[in-house]
Amino acid sequence: MRGREIEMAKVIVLIKIMPVDESVDVDNLLSKIKIGLPENIELLSVRTEPFVFGLKVINALFRMPDEEGYPNKLEEYLRGFPEVGEFEVSSISRVSS
C-alpha cells in the first residue's frame, strides 16, 4: 500500500478515577491529566458523578493503540498524580479506526 500507513487497531478504555479526598478540585485534576497524556493516548470524554462523603468519581474514556503496554502506560501516568487516590479499569473494548 504505497503512500498509506496501515492503521493499528485501537482500544477504548473506561477508567474510574477516585480522588484522594473531597478537597480535590476535580476540574483542575482533569486539566492536569489532559496536558501530559502519554503519546498516542487520547482522552475522549469525561463524566463526573457524586460518590460518597462529598467525593466525586471521574469516569474517563481513553483511546489508545491495541498494543501491549499501553494500558500500563496510562496506569503508571495516573499513579503519578498525588490527587488520585485509586482508579480501576472498568472496561476495555476494541474498536476499528
Using an 8 Å Cβ cutoff, are 71 and 89 in contact?
yes
Output the pLDDT for position 53.
83
Using an 8 Å Cβ cutoff, are 28 and 36 in contact?
no
Q: Does domain 17-95 have CATH number 3.30.70.60?
A: yes
Output the pLDDT for position 1.
47
Residues 6+ apart with CB under 8 A from 27: none
As a residue count, the chain comes to 97
**Using the 8-state DSSP alphabet, how is residue 22 labeled?**
T
Does this model's pTM top 0.95? My answer is no
List the Cα angle 68/72/75 in 5-degree steps: 155
pLDDT 10s digits, 41-56: 999 999 999 988 888 9
